[in-house]
Amino acid sequence: MTKILSVEDLHVRFKTYGGEVQAVRGVTFDLYKGETLAIVGESGCGKSVTSQSIMRLIPTPPGRIHQGKIFFNNKDLTRVSEKEMRAIRGVDISMIFQDPMTALNPTLTIGSQMIEGICHHKNISKQAAREKSLQMLKLVGIPNPEIRMKQYPHEFSGGMRQRIVIAMALVCEPHILIADEPTTALDVTIQAQILDLFKEIQSRTNVSIILITHDLGVVASVADRVVVMYGGKIVEEGTCRDIFYHPQHPYTKGLLYSVPRLDSIGEELTPIPGTPPDLFSPPIGCAFAARCPHSMIVCEKIQPLKTTINEQHYVDCWLMDKRAKG
Ligand SMILES: Nc1ncnc2c1ncn2[C@@H]1O[C@H](COP(=O)(O)OP(=O)(O)O)[C@@H](O)[C@H]1O
Ligand code: SF4
Ligand SMILES: [Mg+2]
């Protein structure tokens, strides 16, 4: 497997009137070519801030990358110039968001905004950009693309708008596509269609996808690997199979029990009791200790370290760590 992106010990903070929020607190992960990596966790755990850091879209001020490196193409994205970053955004790394309307200009036709988007990044003729746009709209399953290109965003349904946004994100053939809650605003049937679309696009283009979601149910059908975030940190990382069938972290187990599963129809869902940690003054020890049914004295005093379960499966929990015993 070829590594395409490496996030190393990323820390992101925001200055607010109430103090400094430690939104991301030492996140490390790799992304490989052609894979779908899901980042999951409850709202506020730092998923969006992590992805905005990769795109260098953290609003500064109030935010800043306090520490860490993000390697792409042998460059540390936390250090490249804004000009270089502009050349990377949308071309090498593209991003799509939950609400497709935020990415679309309501006053322009789909065709003109797609063509404009391509010509902005690539030195090609309008005709070539038009051809490329048509090709992409076909790829994402927009029927009658020649006619649809002349229409405005409001003339499309929510699901179709998200397909258009995906087409726009892919039009420059990026190596990485970051999708931040891309299906959260859509109803369940459309959600499934969009997730299928990601898989199909990936099999055709070999793009690497970072799929961000608070919904573990979304992950099962599309992700190859999963990282689970809690309180600004990664608490578990593994293949989809590891996370769904052999979860090790009490938080991951809690998340699994709080989503409906096809094979457990009729079983009661149990939400995780309690609330996430205060990121203005994060706990000294394990961030999950206050909600964890297995919490030990060591958990409140010292942060758990990464323990290897197998070469792709890691967990940060004292329960799995031989160093906590003896
Ligand atoms: N612009 C901002 N100003 C202040 N705090 C922010 C800002 N953006 C995010 N945060 C804080 O960073 C933390 C992580 O947020 P986020 O990454 O958006 O969470 P998620 O995407 O996992 O729901 C939250 O506590 C949030 O309040
Ligand atoms: S380190 Fe301790 S508190 Fe944290 S998840 Fe593991 S057992 Fe629970
Ligand atoms: Mg978010």
Q: Is the shortest distance between the CB of 235 and ligand 2 below 6 Å? A: no
pTM listed for this prediction = 0.95
As a whole number of angstroms, the distance between CA 322 and CA 288 comes to: 19
As a whole number of angstroms, the distance between CA 264 and CA 136 comes to: 39
Q: Is the shortest distance between the CB of 276 and ligand 1 below 6 Å? A: no
Q: Is the shortest distance between the CB of 314 and ligand 2 below 6 Å? A: no
- Tally the residues of the chain: 326
pLDDT of residue 325: 62
Segments of 41-141 assigned E as strands: 63-72, 75-76, 93-96
User: Which residue has the CA at smallest separation from atom 11 of ligand 1?
Assistant: 23
Which residue numbers in the chain have pLDDT < 70? 260-269, 325-326
Q: Are strands 93-96 and 306-310 parallel, antiparallel or unpaired?
A: unpaired
pLDDT of residue 324: 75
The closest alpha carbon to 208, from 78, 32, 44, belongs to 32
pLDDT of residue 174: 94
pLDDT of residue 265: 53
pLDDT of residue 326: 44
- CA of 31 from ligand 1 middle (Å) equals 22
- CA of 291 from ligand 2 middle (Å) equals 9
* Pocket-testing residue among 48, 99, 181, ligand 1, by greatest number of atoms within 8 A of Cβ: 48
Q: Is the shortest distance between the CB of 12 and ligand 1 below 6 Å? A: no
Q: What pLDDT, in 10s, does the model give residues 26-76?
A: 999 999 999 999 999 999 999 999 999 999 999 999 999 999 999 999 999
pLDDT of residue 291: 95
pLDDT of residue 241: 96
The closest alpha carbon to 227, from 24, 71, 59, 85, belongs to 24
pLDDT of residue 120: 85
Q: Which strands form 225-230's sheet, in the order they lie side by side?
A: 93-96, 176-180, 208-213, 36-40, 225-230, 233-239, 313-316, 306-310
